[in-house]
Amino acid sequence: MAAPMATTIAQFENVGLRYGTGAETLSDISFSLDGGGFYFLTGPSGAGKTSLLKLLYLALRPSRGLIRLFDEDVVTLPRDRLPGFRRRIGVVFQDFRLVPHLSAFDNIALPLRVAGVEETELATPVNEMLAWVGLSDRASARPATLSGGEQQRVAIARAVIGRPEILIADEPTGNVDPEMAARLLHLFDALNKLGTTLVVATHDIHLLSRVSAAQMMRLEGGRLSDPTGALKNPPREPRGTRSGKSAK
Amino acid sequence: MSLPFAASPAERRLLTEGRLSGPMPWVIAIMMFLTVLAAAGGLALNHAASNVTGSIAQRITVQIVEANPDLREAQTRAAMAALGDMEGVTEVVRVSDEEIDALIEPWIGAAGDEEGIPVPTMIDAALTEAAHNDLERIEAAVVDAAPAARVDDHAQFLAPLAGLIGSLTWLAFALVLLTASALAASVILAVRAALNTHRSTIEVLHLMGATDVQIARLFQRRIALDALFGGLVGFLVAVVVLLLLGQRIGAVGSELLGSATLPLSAWIILALLPLAGAAVSTLVARYTVIGVLKKLL
């Protein structure tokens, strides 16, 4: 019996991105992400990984092409509907972007407060999340007093506390030692097993081999590429968008 | 229950809670001080103008300019009788010789007391508004009874003064509008500065799905508190200045200056200014933040 078709959670078709009047940072990007998948986005520095992630977490609109998220065209989506979509996406920023005047507890509670969760209902999920990332004893610490790894874990806890359907992480292991990188990857893997779709941008080739089921995308010069055919399980391109293979 | 316009306790924790954020409350205090003084000036002048046009301006003075004392006295009595019988004349008072002597003394010294210098008699009369509008009829009746009578309408010689008071009143209210505009401009600048200070936090909130209104609520609450504090300080200082000015004006003893007092309704309006300032500041903050955020995706 054939396995059930996974739901497409995100779809890019011929997407291009240009900042101002400069050359395109991203060109002809086409791929689909299945719900519950684990995707690595690789490529050298300056390849456009962060730009692609920004399109995915709705910080930018593309200059051209189609992006569908959760079955809706988000390119033409009215601006006032974007917050609802953003609440379904968790983001771990490369520089963490923790709010400096808030404690670890309050930083992790941010998405719930934004979503209007009552104060009385905050403590349990936030404390659970602190325990999950091993920071229960640092709940009241401010970011400036946390180590890089601790800040990273607070950022991850903040990104997942709202139970997002997609978790996007930009170079999450860029600022931590190999042992911490392995622990972070373990957290991501655990989340993925709970059904969250993960998109992790990294240029750490060691990371790629640690998640057996992960699929990979490689960006070079603003284009998705697989020059050596070495990528494992590359995410499928939307039908009819592969160059030279457009649907008849 | 939370008001849709106010940040909830949870939302308040998203930005630092600086009570007296920089010079903002003091700028608002100065603006409010000037606004209250200008508004008080406008309200006092408006009160004075209504006094002038209401009570003083509806009066006439009848002079009997007759060299013959007997004839002058006879015509004075005739004019008073004619005025007293007339509809719309509410008060007829003959100005005493002593008052007339006091009035002309600065010009001719005590000579007016001496025999041989004819000094006109004067009758002061108060009219209703309708009678004042039909002054020609009254003047004709008085001259008919006393041919040497000359009728002076107070409104006529008070017109330039009333015009001046009216202009000053409008100027005062224009100043109120200008200071209110300056207050709004300073709020816009303060909000933009605060937005820059908290830009990274706002971006994070934005990407987590915070709506523009949610983010605006954080700022409008802070600005409202600053505006209320600054407004109350400015108002209280202005009240002290107004009370001291009132004492000085009372000491002058001028009837005209004395008429420029602040009635209770004016004090109530002045007391509402800090609240109005806080409300305007809150609205300006809200729409400034929303305007800036709309430029983001």
- What confidence tens digit (pLDDT) does each residue in B158-191 have? 778 878 888 888 998 899 999 989 988 888 888 8
| Residue range B231-249: mean pLDDT, rounded | 91
Chunk chain A into consecutive blocks of 10 residues (it has 248) and report each block's average pLDDT, rounded to whole numbers: 67 92 90 90 89 94 94 92 94 91 92 88 93 92 92 91 93 78 83 91 79 85 73 64 39
Helix (H) or strand (E) holding B81: helix B69-85
Q: Is residue B60 part of a domain?
A: no
Choose between B117 and A133: higher pLDDT. A133
Whole-number Å distance between alpha carbons of A200 and A216: 9
Asked if pLDDT for residue B4 goes beyond 50, the answer is no
Beta-carbon neighbour count of residue A169 at 10 Å?
24
Residue where one domain finishes, among candidates B114, B147, B180: B147
pLDDT value at residue A240: 58
Cβ–Cβ gap A101/B16 under 8 Å: yes
Percentage of residues of chain B with pLDDT beyond 90: 26
B297 touches chain A (CB under 8 A): yes
Cβ–Cβ gap B207/A117 under 8 Å: no
Q: Which residues from chain B sit within 8 angstroms of residue A80, using beta carbons?
A: 211
| Residue range B133-137: mean pLDDT, rounded | 87
Helix (H) or strand (E) holding A83: helix A82-86
A59 touches chain B (CB under 8 A): yes
Q: Is residue B58 part of a domain?
A: no
Nearest-neighbour CA in chain A from B189: distance (Å): 23
- Crossing angle for the helix pair B69-85 and B135-145, nearest 10 degrees? 140
pLDDT value at residue B123: 92
Is B170 in the same domain as B85? no
Is B81 in the same domain as B227? no
Do A222 and A48 form a contact (C-beta atoms < 8 A)? yes
Whole-number Å distance between alpha carbons of B61 and B126: 9
Is B173 in the same domain as B96? no
Cβ–Cβ gap B207/A58 under 8 Å: yes
Asked if pLDDT for residue B236 goes beyond 90, the answer is yes
B290 touches chain A (CB under 8 A): no
Q: Is the dihedral of CA B101, B107, B113, B115 positive or negative?
A: negative
Is B172 in the same domain as B47? yes
pLDDT value at residue A5: 57
Whole-number Å distance between alpha carbons of B59 and B57: 5
Q: Is residue B133 part of a domain?
A: yes
Whole-number Å distance between alpha carbons of B132 and B161: 19
Nearest-neighbour CA in chain A from B25: distance (Å): 23
Q: Which residue of A has its CA nearest to B1?
A: A118
Do A25 and A222 form a contact (C-beta atoms < 8 A)? yes
Is B233 in the same domain as B281? yes
Cβ–Cβ gap B209/A61 under 8 Å: no
A119 touches chain B (CB under 8 A): yes
Q: Is residue B59 part of a domain?
A: no
Closest CA to A58 of B202, B296, B214: B296
Cα–Cα distances in angstroms (integers) from residue B249 to residues B55, B170, B246, B257, in the given order: 21, 22, 5, 7
In chain A the first and final C-alpha atoms are separated, in Å, by 30
Helix (H) or strand (E) holding A157: helix A148-160
Nearest-neighbour CA in chain B from A161: distance (Å): 11
B199 touches chain A (CB under 8 A): no
| Residue range B253-278: mean pLDDT, rounded | 82
Is B139 in the same domain as B109? yes
Do B44 and B261 form a contact (C-beta atoms < 8 A)? yes
Is B197 in the same domain as B122? no
Cα–Cα distances in angstroms (integers) from residue A184 to residues A3, A31, A38, A40, in the given order: 30, 26, 14, 14
| Residue range B61-82: mean pLDDT, rounded | 90
Q: Is residue B262 part of a domain?
A: yes
Q: Which residues from chain A sit within 8 angstroms of residue B10, using beta carbons?
A: 113, 116-119, 122
Asked if pLDDT for residue B2 goes beyond 80, the answer is no
Beta-carbon neighbour count of residue B117 at 10 Å?
11
Question: Coil, strand, or helix at residue B74?
Answer: helix
Do A69 and A9 form a contact (C-beta atoms < 8 A)? yes
pLDDT value at residue B116: 63
Is B139 in the same domain as B183? no
A97 touches chain B (CB under 8 A): yes
Nearest-neighbour CA in chain A from B279: distance (Å): 25
Whole-number Å distance between alpha carbons of A125 and A146: 21
Q: Is residue B61 part of a domain?
A: no
Domain count of chain B? 2
Cβ–Cβ gap A114/B209 under 8 Å: yes
Q: Which residues from chain A sit within 8 angstroms of residue B210, using beta carbons?
A: 83, 114
Phi, psi of B178 (to 5 degrees): -65, -45
Nearest to A113 among B10, B203, B207 (CB): B10
Cβ–Cβ gap B297/A60 under 8 Å: yes
Q: Which domain holds residue B235?
A: 9-53+165-293
Residue where one domain finishes, among candidates B94, B114, B147: B147
Q: Which residues from chain A sit within 8 angstroms of residue B16, using beta carbons?
A: 101
Poorest-confidence range of A46-60, B96-110, B265-279? B96-110
Is B80 in the same domain as B37? no
Q: Which stretches of B119-211 are DSSP H helices? A: 129-133, 135-145, 154-197, 199-207
Whole-number Å distance between alpha carbons of A187 and B67: 116
Is B75 in the same domain as B116? yes
B6 touches chain A (CB under 8 A): no
Tokens of B246: 């009132």
Asked if pLDDT for residue B88 goes beyond 70, the answer is yes
Q: Is residue B1 part of a domain?
A: no
Q: Establish whether this prediction's ipTM goes over 0.95.
A: no
Cβ–Cβ gap A91/B203 under 8 Å: no
pLDDT value at residue A171: 87
Farthest CA pair distance, chain A: 60
pLDDT value at residue B1: 39
For chain B, the average pLDDT equals 83
Q: Is the dihedral of CA A53, A56, A59, A63 positive or negative?
A: positive
Q: Is residue B154 part of a domain?
A: no
A142 touches chain B (CB under 8 A): no
Whole-number Å distance between alpha carbons of A30 and A10: 11
pLDDT value at residue B131: 86
Question: Coil, strand, or helix at residue B254?
Answer: coil
DSSP state of B60: E
Is B175 in the same domain as B288? yes
Is B49 in the same domain as B170? yes
Cβ–Cβ gap A114/B200 under 8 Å: no
Do A138 and A103 form a contact (C-beta atoms < 8 A)? no
pLDDT value at residue B169: 86
Cβ–Cβ gap B210/A83 under 8 Å: yes
B205 touches chain A (CB under 8 A): yes
Cβ–Cβ gap A102/B204 under 8 Å: no
Question: Coil, strand, or helix at residue A25?
Answer: strand
A84 touches chain B (CB under 8 A): yes
Cβ–Cβ gap B203/A114 under 8 Å: no
Q: Which residues from chain A sit within 8 angstroms of residue B200, using beta carbons?
A: 97
Phi, psi of B237 (to 5 degrees): -65, -40
Whole-number Å distance between alpha carbons of B173 and B46: 10
Q: What is the spatial order of strands in the sheet that B59-64 belongs to? A: B89-95, B121-127, B59-64, B149-153
Whole-number Å distance between alpha carbons of B123 and B78: 11
